Amino acid sequence: MSNIVVFGKGGIGKSTISANLSTLYALEGRKVLHVGCDPKHDSTLGLVDGGLIETFMEKYARLYGARDHGEITAADLIVKGRLGIDCVEAGGPEPGVGCAGRGISLMLEALQDLGLLKSGGYDARVFDVLGDVVCGGFAAPLRKGFAEKIVIVVSEELMALYAANNIAKSVKTYSSNGVYLAGLVANLKDGQVDRRRIERFAAILGTRILEFIPRDPAVREAEFAREKTVVERAPKSAFAKSVKSLAAKILAVKRSDCPIPTPMDDRRFYEAW
Protein backbone atom coordinates (compact mmCIF):
# COMPACT_ATOMS: atom_id res chain seq x y z
CA MET A 1 0.00 0.00 0.00
CA SER A 2 1.36 3.43 -0.91
CA ASN A 3 0.36 6.90 0.21
CA ILE A 4 1.86 9.24 -2.36
CA VAL A 5 1.73 13.02 -1.97
CA VAL A 6 2.54 15.12 -5.02
CA PHE A 7 3.61 18.65 -4.09
CA GLY A 8 4.87 21.57 -6.17
CA LYS A 9 4.36 25.14 -7.21
CA GLY A 10 1.04 26.12 -8.84
CA GLY A 11 0.95 25.37 -12.57
CA ILE A 12 3.97 23.06 -12.45
CA GLY A 13 2.07 19.92 -13.54
CA LYS A 14 1.01 18.27 -10.26
CA SER A 15 -2.58 17.55 -11.26
CA THR A 16 -1.60 16.32 -14.71
CA ILE A 17 1.06 14.01 -13.33
CA SER A 18 -0.92 12.78 -10.32
CA ALA A 19 -4.08 12.02 -12.36
CA ASN A 20 -1.95 10.03 -14.80
CA LEU A 21 -0.26 8.18 -11.91
CA SER A 22 -3.67 7.25 -10.45
CA THR A 23 -4.80 6.06 -13.88
CA LEU A 24 -1.73 3.87 -14.33
CA TYR A 25 -2.06 2.34 -10.87
CA ALA A 26 -5.76 1.63 -11.53
CA LEU A 27 -4.97 0.12 -14.94
CA GLU A 28 -2.53 -2.20 -13.15
CA GLY A 29 -5.42 -3.44 -11.03
CA ARG A 30 -4.84 -1.38 -7.90
CA LYS A 31 -7.67 0.15 -5.90
CA VAL A 32 -6.90 3.88 -5.92
CA LEU A 33 -8.10 6.88 -3.89
CA HIS A 34 -7.27 10.17 -5.62
CA VAL A 35 -7.48 13.26 -3.41
CA GLY A 36 -7.23 16.76 -4.90
CA CYS A 37 -5.97 19.18 -2.20
CA ASP A 38 -5.87 22.35 -4.30
CA PRO A 39 -8.67 24.93 -4.09
CA LYS A 40 -8.61 24.86 -7.92
CA HIS A 41 -10.40 21.44 -7.61
CA ASP A 42 -9.40 20.28 -11.11
CA SER A 43 -7.28 17.29 -10.11
CA THR A 44 -9.97 14.71 -10.82
CA LEU A 45 -11.25 16.28 -14.07
CA GLY A 46 -9.69 13.57 -16.23
CA LEU A 47 -10.70 10.77 -13.85
CA VAL A 48 -14.46 11.20 -13.81
CA ASP A 49 -17.05 11.49 -16.52
CA GLY A 50 -18.84 14.78 -16.56
CA GLY A 51 -16.41 17.46 -15.44
CA LEU A 52 -15.95 19.07 -12.04
CA ILE A 53 -17.22 17.03 -9.11
CA GLU A 54 -18.88 18.39 -6.02
CA THR A 55 -16.05 19.33 -3.64
CA PHE A 56 -15.67 18.42 -0.01
CA MET A 57 -16.26 22.06 0.94
CA GLU A 58 -19.53 22.08 -1.01
CA LYS A 59 -20.58 18.81 0.59
CA TYR A 60 -19.58 20.18 3.95
CA ALA A 61 -21.91 23.14 3.55
CA ARG A 62 -24.70 20.85 2.34
CA LEU A 63 -24.36 17.82 4.65
CA TYR A 64 -22.65 18.76 7.87
CA GLY A 65 -25.25 21.28 9.00
CA ALA A 66 -28.11 18.98 8.07
CA ARG A 67 -26.80 15.73 9.58
CA ASP A 68 -24.96 14.48 12.59
CA HIS A 69 -21.27 13.99 11.79
CA GLY A 70 -21.68 10.34 12.73
CA GLU A 71 -24.20 9.87 9.93
CA ILE A 72 -21.85 11.01 7.15
CA THR A 73 -20.57 7.98 5.27
CA ALA A 74 -17.71 7.33 2.87
CA ALA A 75 -20.28 7.15 0.08
CA ASP A 76 -21.26 10.75 0.85
CA LEU A 77 -17.71 12.03 0.39
CA ILE A 78 -16.38 9.90 -2.44
CA VAL A 79 -17.20 10.25 -6.12
CA LYS A 80 -16.75 7.08 -8.14
CA GLY A 81 -14.41 7.79 -11.03
CA ARG A 82 -13.53 5.82 -14.12
CA LEU A 83 -11.39 2.66 -13.77
CA GLY A 84 -12.73 2.21 -10.23
CA ILE A 85 -10.81 5.24 -8.95
CA ASP A 86 -12.39 6.84 -5.87
CA CYS A 87 -12.15 10.63 -6.11
CA VAL A 88 -12.32 13.49 -3.61
CA GLU A 89 -11.65 17.19 -4.17
CA ALA A 90 -11.11 19.45 -1.16
CA GLY A 91 -12.22 22.58 -2.98
CA GLY A 92 -11.98 25.87 -1.18
CA PRO A 93 -13.76 29.00 -0.11
CA GLU A 94 -14.82 31.77 -2.49
CA PRO A 95 -11.70 33.71 -3.49
CA GLY A 96 -10.94 36.35 -0.89
CA VAL A 97 -13.04 34.70 1.82
CA GLY A 98 -11.85 32.13 4.34
CA CYS A 99 -8.89 29.80 4.35
CA ALA A 100 -8.30 27.02 1.81
CA GLY A 101 -5.79 25.29 4.06
CA ARG A 102 -8.47 24.91 6.72
CA GLY A 103 -10.71 23.20 4.17
CA ILE A 104 -7.99 20.68 3.41
CA SER A 105 -7.53 19.96 7.11
CA LEU A 106 -11.30 19.48 7.55
CA MET A 107 -11.46 17.12 4.59
CA LEU A 108 -8.54 15.02 5.82
CA GLU A 109 -10.09 14.82 9.29
CA ALA A 110 -13.36 13.60 7.75
CA LEU A 111 -11.56 10.99 5.61
CA GLN A 112 -9.53 9.92 8.63
CA ASP A 113 -12.64 9.57 10.83
CA LEU A 114 -14.14 7.31 8.17
CA GLY A 115 -11.01 5.15 8.19
CA LEU A 116 -10.24 5.90 4.56
CA LEU A 117 -6.69 7.09 5.13
CA LYS A 118 -5.41 4.02 6.92
CA SER A 119 -7.02 1.01 5.28
CA GLY A 120 -10.31 1.55 3.45
CA GLY A 121 -9.35 -1.16 1.00
CA TYR A 122 -6.95 1.00 -1.03
CA ASP A 123 -3.70 -0.15 -2.58
CA ALA A 124 -2.65 3.40 -3.42
CA ARG A 125 -3.70 6.86 -2.38
CA VAL A 126 -2.53 9.79 -4.45
CA PHE A 127 -2.76 13.30 -2.96
CA ASP A 128 -2.32 16.31 -5.23
CA VAL A 129 -1.33 19.28 -3.03
CA LEU A 130 -0.59 22.89 -3.83
CA GLY A 131 2.86 23.75 -2.52
CA ASP A 132 3.62 27.41 -2.94
CA VAL A 133 1.75 28.52 0.15
CA VAL A 134 3.68 28.25 3.39
CA CYS A 135 0.59 27.44 5.45
CA GLY A 136 -0.13 24.64 7.88
CA GLY A 137 -3.27 23.64 5.97
CA PHE A 138 -1.31 22.64 2.91
CA ALA A 139 1.12 20.75 5.13
CA ALA A 140 -1.80 18.85 6.71
CA PRO A 141 -1.12 15.65 4.74
CA LEU A 142 2.36 15.65 6.27
CA ARG A 143 1.28 16.66 9.75
CA LYS A 144 -1.49 14.15 10.13
CA GLY A 145 0.87 11.22 9.88
CA PHE A 146 -0.60 9.17 7.05
CA ALA A 147 1.43 10.63 4.19
CA GLU A 148 4.32 8.47 3.20
CA LYS A 149 6.10 9.17 -0.07
CA ILE A 150 6.51 12.79 -0.98
CA VAL A 151 7.17 13.62 -4.61
CA ILE A 152 7.95 17.24 -5.53
CA VAL A 153 7.33 18.40 -9.09
CA VAL A 154 9.76 21.07 -10.30
CA SER A 155 10.79 22.62 -13.58
CA GLU A 156 14.04 24.30 -14.55
CA GLU A 157 12.65 27.66 -13.33
CA LEU A 158 13.99 29.35 -10.21
CA MET A 159 10.60 29.83 -8.50
CA ALA A 160 9.71 26.17 -9.00
CA LEU A 161 12.94 25.27 -7.22
CA TYR A 162 12.20 27.86 -4.53
CA ALA A 163 8.80 26.25 -3.83
CA ALA A 164 10.44 22.81 -3.80
CA ASN A 165 13.04 23.99 -1.30
CA ASN A 166 10.20 25.22 0.96
CA ILE A 167 8.30 21.95 0.62
CA ALA A 168 11.51 20.10 1.55
CA LYS A 169 11.54 22.20 4.74
CA SER A 170 8.05 20.90 5.61
CA VAL A 171 9.11 17.33 4.86
CA LYS A 172 12.09 17.78 7.17
CA THR A 173 9.87 19.26 9.90
CA TYR A 174 7.42 16.34 9.75
CA SER A 175 9.91 13.55 9.05
CA SER A 176 9.29 12.16 12.53
CA ASN A 177 5.72 11.41 11.34
CA GLY A 178 7.11 8.90 8.86
CA VAL A 179 7.03 11.08 5.74
CA TYR A 180 10.01 10.95 3.43
CA LEU A 181 11.08 12.66 0.24
CA ALA A 182 10.97 10.00 -2.47
CA GLY A 183 12.44 12.44 -5.01
CA LEU A 184 11.87 15.22 -7.50
CA VAL A 185 10.07 15.05 -10.82
CA ALA A 186 11.51 17.44 -13.37
CA ASN A 187 8.60 18.46 -15.60
CA LEU A 188 10.64 20.45 -18.09
CA LYS A 189 9.32 23.53 -19.86
CA ASP A 190 12.29 23.60 -22.23
CA GLY A 191 13.50 20.23 -23.48
CA GLN A 192 16.89 21.70 -24.45
CA VAL A 193 17.65 23.12 -21.01
CA ASP A 194 20.86 22.19 -19.22
CA ARG A 195 19.69 19.58 -16.69
CA ARG A 196 22.73 19.97 -14.45
CA ARG A 197 21.16 22.81 -12.47
CA ILE A 198 18.21 20.63 -11.36
CA GLU A 199 20.60 17.77 -10.71
CA ARG A 200 22.71 19.99 -8.47
CA PHE A 201 19.58 21.18 -6.65
CA ALA A 202 18.57 17.56 -6.00
CA ALA A 203 22.07 16.80 -4.70
CA ILE A 204 21.94 19.80 -2.32
CA LEU A 205 18.59 18.57 -0.94
CA GLY A 206 20.03 15.08 -0.58
CA THR A 207 17.43 13.56 -2.88
CA ARG A 208 17.16 12.18 -6.40
CA ILE A 209 15.42 13.07 -9.64
CA LEU A 210 12.96 10.27 -10.22
CA GLU A 211 12.16 11.28 -13.79
CA PHE A 212 12.61 13.99 -16.39
CA ILE A 213 9.29 14.59 -18.13
CA PRO A 214 9.32 16.36 -21.50
CA ARG A 215 6.95 19.09 -22.63
CA ASP A 216 4.47 17.24 -24.82
CA PRO A 217 1.51 18.56 -26.85
CA ALA A 218 -0.34 15.31 -26.02
CA VAL A 219 -0.88 16.77 -22.54
CA ARG A 220 -2.60 19.86 -23.89
CA GLU A 221 -4.77 17.82 -26.25
CA ALA A 222 -5.87 15.44 -23.48
CA GLU A 223 -6.67 18.40 -21.26
CA PHE A 224 -8.92 19.99 -23.89
CA ALA A 225 -10.57 16.68 -24.85
CA ARG A 226 -11.14 16.08 -21.10
CA GLU A 227 -12.58 12.61 -21.35
CA LYS A 228 -9.33 10.72 -20.66
CA THR A 229 -5.87 11.08 -19.19
CA VAL A 230 -2.77 11.17 -21.41
CA VAL A 231 -1.69 7.62 -20.58
CA GLU A 232 -5.04 6.34 -21.86
CA ARG A 233 -5.44 8.72 -24.79
CA ALA A 234 -1.86 8.75 -26.07
CA PRO A 235 -0.12 5.79 -24.41
CA LYS A 236 2.82 5.96 -26.82
CA SER A 237 3.48 9.67 -26.27
CA ALA A 238 6.73 10.82 -24.68
CA PHE A 239 4.78 12.11 -21.66
CA ALA A 240 3.00 8.77 -21.13
CA LYS A 241 6.28 6.84 -21.37
CA SER A 242 7.94 9.06 -18.76
CA VAL A 243 4.98 8.90 -16.37
CA LYS A 244 4.88 5.09 -16.68
CA SER A 245 8.53 4.95 -15.72
CA LEU A 246 7.87 7.42 -12.88
CA ALA A 247 4.92 5.37 -11.56
CA ALA A 248 7.07 2.26 -11.21
CA LYS A 249 9.92 4.18 -9.60
CA ILE A 250 7.64 5.78 -6.99
CA LEU A 251 6.36 2.35 -5.95
CA ALA A 252 9.90 0.98 -5.76
CA VAL A 253 11.38 3.74 -3.56
CA LYS A 254 11.95 2.56 0.00
CA ARG A 255 12.04 4.71 3.10
CA SER A 256 15.55 3.46 3.83
CA ASP A 257 16.76 4.99 0.51
CA CYS A 258 15.50 8.44 1.51
CA PRO A 259 17.52 10.51 3.96
CA ILE A 260 15.86 13.50 5.64
CA PRO A 261 16.18 16.35 3.09
CA THR A 262 18.62 19.19 3.65
CA PRO A 263 16.86 22.31 2.29
CA MET A 264 18.66 25.65 2.10
CA ASP A 265 17.76 28.77 4.03
CA ASP A 266 16.42 31.51 1.76
CA ARG A 267 19.67 33.47 1.55
CA ARG A 268 21.67 30.41 0.60
CA PHE A 269 18.99 29.44 -1.91
CA TYR A 270 19.39 32.68 -3.87
CA GLU A 271 23.18 32.57 -3.65
CA ALA A 272 23.34 28.94 -4.79
CA TRP A 273 23.14 29.59 -8.52
Min CB(88)–ligand ADP separation in Å = 16
219 contact, one of ligand ADP, Mg ion, none, CB 5-8 Å limit per kind: ligand ADP
Min CB(15)–Mg ion separation in Å = 3
The Cα 61–Cα 207 span in angstroms is 41
216 touches ligand ADP by CB under 6 A: yes
CB 260 within 8 A of CB 182: no
DSSP conformational letter for 36: E
Binding interface with Mg ion (CB under 5 A): 14-15, 38
Size of the site for ligand ADP (CB under 6 A): 16
3 contact, one of Mg ion, ligand ADP, none, CB 5-8 Å limit per kind: none
Binding to ligand ADP by CB under 6 A, coded x per residue (else -) over 173-212, reads --------------x-------------------------
Nearer to ligand ADP by Cβ, of 72 and 138: the residue is: 138
Nearest CA among 120, 161, 204, 116 for reference residue 7: 161
Q: Which residues contact 48 (CB under 8 A, 6 or more apart)?
A: 79, 80, 81, 82, 87
Q: Which residues contact 65 (CB under 8 A, 6 or more apart)?
A: none
* Segment near ligand ADP (CB under 6 A); pick from 13-21, 102-110, 134-142, 173-181: 13-21
Nearest CA among 43, 40, 127, 124 for reference residue 84: 124
- Give the E-state strand segments of 9-155 in sequence order: 32-37, 79-80, 86-89, 124-130, 149-154
Binding site for ligand ADP (CB under 6 A): 8, 10-16, 187, 213, 215-216, 219-220, 223, 239
